[in-house]
Structure 1
Amino acid sequence: MVMASYEHLFNKLEDQFLLTKEQMAPIIKGFISEYQSGLKTPSTGIASMIPSYVTSLPTGNETGTFLSLDLGGTNLRVNAVQLLGDGQVNMVENKRLATVELKSGSGDAFFDWIADTIQELITVKAPHLFKPEQVNGQETLSLGVCWSFPIDQTTLDRGTVLRMGKGFTMPNVQGRDLSDMFHEAFKRKNLNVRVGALLNDTVGTLVAHAYSNPRSRIGFIYATGCNAAYPEKVSNIGKWDETQRSRFNPNDEMLINTEIDIFGDDTYLPRTKYDHQLDKNHSQPDFQPWEKMMSGAYLGELTRLVAMDFIQQGALFDGVVPAGWDTPWSFQTAMMSSIERDNTASRDESVKILESVYSFATRPSKDDIQAITRICRIVATRGAIMVAVAIASMIEKQKLHIVDSNEIVIGMNGSTYEYYPYMDVRVKKALRTWFGSEVSDRILLEIARDGGSIGGALIAMLAAAE
């Protein structure tokens, strides 16, 4: 196969995927419209623009030791976080596996297990980070909880547990206040700890990064899924009634969990036939259309669908579909990453990656590898553009590009952003396409880590300071 013979196919693909400034405009406008709508719509069921009740960001000068807890689908991570000032921290973690027995046992047993994990951290693993009166229980320790499950949050430190999922089937937990269940367990274990804050991991990412760079105004997670947080004026939270808003100064800013992953529809998203094909065959069609165009969960499948089209037109693998290539989700985003990273002259590493999953009639040629690499690059670059339009919409919502000439700091977290080759460069290029160099040169995309741990401790600290 001579790649030049099929250049028209690549040109057509680039026309669909590599969006111009003019094509970015309706997406950014659509996102801003969804922010406005979400701020007015009550946060019930599947909701966006969820208030966090966090009304301040750290300065970087805070000190003291606080606890954080991060519970995902499998692991419990409890951290002692010592804030040293000047954006510096010491941290010790106690990590445990949530077993099937714990997930399906009684709620009391589960929260007792968490309390035991915290007690071990304080008294055995990290007593050197605490004051003696905190270790012996004379002084209350504040805990920030990153709870990766739905809750109906009513204040910074209170919220009702909704259906958990991820294999958690504990009876008598759903419908109860999360903080109450923690405090009952702490009392049973004679542990002087109080829940100071409940938080979302994206809000935690923004707060954690603001400790190291107080100019941070957006927290963005780009991994298997996507989400983002930014500060919004309380007066703009139209979903609240006057009683709720009166608890805050109207000019206060509150961090908002956008749940941006559920944004998008065909009125402004330029979805291709490949996007529609992926969506149609997904277990949740018509849900999260924007995320399906760009997140780590979907880039590999989009690449597989594009490549299948190329194979059927004779532009790849001599027109012969490799055994297994027609299996949905068989081409992983991690494979794309490895293929794009393969700089060997022979491209043998890329061949090995493909042959580890698929059976070929004849060994893929160098032209084949160049073609599949180019497809990966085009699909991943659109992913970067979709990240950039989301960031641009939050910059414009806050008017950060026009209020002053300071740096605009974005805390970026997530495996797809951090580890996919050239992703940071591509996001930055797309931002330059939209804003021009004068504004885009002020936008700093900085790696932000430990949202659930450092962010949780910081939010607990901010709550204790109020």
Structure 2
Amino acid sequence: MTDPLASIREEFDLNQQVFKAIVDGFKAEYESGLSTASATGLATMIPSYVTTLPTGKEKGTYLALDLGGSTLRVCAVELLGNCQVTVTEIRRHIAPNDPLRTSGATAFFDWIVDAIAELIEKIGYDAVHADSPLSLGVCWSFPVDQTSVSAGRILRMGKGFTIEGVEGYDLSTLFQEAFDRKNVNVKVTALLNDTVGTLVAHAYTNPDARVGFIYGTGVNAAYPEKVSRMVKLKGNQQAQHYSQDTTMLVNTEIDIFGSDAYLPLNKYDRQLDANHSQPDFQLYEKMMSGACIGELVRLAALDLIEKGNLFKGHRPTEFAVSMEFSTAIPSDIEGHLDDSTEARFEHLKELIHFQDGYTVDLDDLNVFTELCQIVSNRAAKLAGAAMASLIEQQQDLMTGSSPIVIGVNGSTYEKYPDMHQRIHRSLVTWFDPQVSDRIRVELATDGGSIGGALIAMLAEKEEQQQQKVSSQQQETLSTTETTKKAIPNNHPPPPSFLGCLFGWLAPLRAKRGDTNNTSGVDETIKINQEKL
């Protein structure tokens, strides 16, 4: 008997040779992105200006704001130490026809700040009498030309928003003006991407985390990269303050990676892309994301139906419209694999319907179930290939002995049956035991809330440290100037008898002083490759 799925298996095959091509292709795109200015074309490898990760010991209350296309969420995150947090949040829905979408900057930002003020009141925090403002991390799901951890120029918003008086303006400044108008004692200390936030949030619960990965309806990734390798930062005034061994979290924008040069695009991938509203864009994401798995199953099933190998040539009503066969249906089918054949058969009849009255049989159940598995297996391997490339990009992870922790957030990873196991299996198959035995793929918390608050905290600490260093430098400069005035022509005074006798003590004291930790930030670790 001819196998009806033989050609489908071949189309979706992703062997180790193809896996290697994808890993190498991604690594080449990382290098290209690190060397290309963000303002040139589509931005990838975007600097976050976040150069530290939490240890899990930090304590305090910090705020996070996450604004998307339809929802505003503001959160108060209390860091309890010992990798524990509590979160209080307020949500505001923005309807498609809400006048706020076409309002001016003042009305729009005042509306946001009103929600923040309500949250502060809800948690009972006395911000008015606090010694310093509450720090806020902003996850702004719209294009921003970011120039520092807390500064960025707003670009065209999109997603139905046409706010007058925001494009080209600094986001933090617009917030601060609204805080001042409303007398709210809050300060934006960080702008962030949700993927970077995911990595930081997971690092608080597991300090070994070194990759943040989003796998839901879309896909993205973040990891720490050496500033010395980020050619795109040359000329940036902020970057001049970093030492050569400093590492910075990078938002890869891996969703827009991919080309025919290394992606195994099959005929169904090409059909999906050709019929998509944005063809030739986000090719990798279209092959494996939660937004597209269902459509790939639909296209392959239609091919089988046309050949009479599925549903006896009858087309389900669920297959009528492109991109409307939800990934939730293949997920649901695979979620019942442990049920009896009879129960699975009855369940399929509830999911698939036919206008001409056709009734599915057991052959349909077996063929369609395996088709779903073929498509989702490849999706898992594609996610694994991206994660493998991110591990290889951090060479010290390859040669070290510590756990290699990948924090993953997103509905496809969390809800699609066995997705975690399949991704982990692809990594174990790819790496030798010295690396694979240390890999931990873990469910991460939402980066827009806990991650946003943590980045606000890290940015606040770094700002305080910079202020301390600046103050010390100023004191040193003042002392030097005073000494110059006291000693004409810069000639030192003759040494005293005691100075001659005990002068050998000074270098010893200086040496001892150099070994002391004077950073004042004992609960925040620098992300350097030795630690990794």
Q: 1: CA distance between counterparts of 2:370 and 2:319?
A: 18
- Structure 1 contact 338–350 (Cα < 8 Å) conserved: no
- Point out where structure 1 has 5 or more consecutive residues left out of the alignment: none
Structure-2 residue corresponding to 1:372:
368
Structure-1 residue corresponding to 2:154:
161
Q: How many residues align?
A: 454
Q: Does 1:28 align with 2:26?
A: no
Q: CA deviation at 1:397?
A: 0.6
Q: Does 1:447 align with 2:440?
A: no
Q: Does 1:404 align with 2:397?
A: no
Structure-1 residue corresponding to 2:519:
none
Q: CA deviation at 1:385?
A: 0.4
Quick one: which amino acid aligns to residue 274 of structure 1?
Answer: Y
- Aligned residue runs from structure 1 range 4-403, under 5 A: 5-7=1-3, 9-44=4-39, 45-99=41-95, 100-123=98-121, 125-127=122-124, 130=125, 132=126, 134=127, 136=129, 139-244=132-237, 245-323=239-317, 325-342=319-336, 343-346=339-342, 347=344, 348-355=346-353, 358-403=354-399
Give SS of 2:54's match. coil
Give SS of 2:448's match. coil
**CA deviation string 1:300-329 (max 9, x = no partner):** 000000000111111101122234524212
Structure-1 residue corresponding to 2:500:
none
Structure ID, larger Rg: 2
Q: 2: CA distance between counterparts of 1:406 and 1:263?
A: 29
Give SS of 2:268's match. helix
Quick one: which amino acid aligns to residue 122 of structure 1?
Answer: I
Give SS of 1:369's match. helix
Give SS of 1:142's match. strand
- Structure 2 contact 27–389 (Cα < 8 Å) conserved: yes
TM-score by length of 2: 0.83
Q: 2: CA distance between counterparts of 1:428 and 1:417?
A: 11
Quick one: which amino acid aligns to residue 457 of structure 2?
Answer: M
- Structure 2 contact 273–279 (Cα < 8 Å) conserved: yes
**CA deviation string 1:367-387 (max 9, x = no partner):** 112211111100011000000
Quick one: which amino acid aligns to residue 77 of structure 1?
Answer: R
Give SS of 1:167's match. coil
Instruction: Calculate percent identity across the aligned residue pairs.
Output: 53
- Point out where structure 2 has 5 or more consecutive residues left out of the alignment: 463-532
- Structure 2 contact 128–184 (Cα < 8 Å) conserved: no
Change (3 A) 1:113 1:242: closer
Change (3 A) 1:316 1:400: farther
Q: 2: CA distance between counterparts of 1:352 and 1:311?
A: 19
TM-score by length of 1: 0.95
Give SS of 1:155's match. coil
Q: 2: CA distance between counterparts of 1:137 and 1:96?
A: 27
- Structure 2 contact 64–448 (Cα < 8 Å) conserved: yes
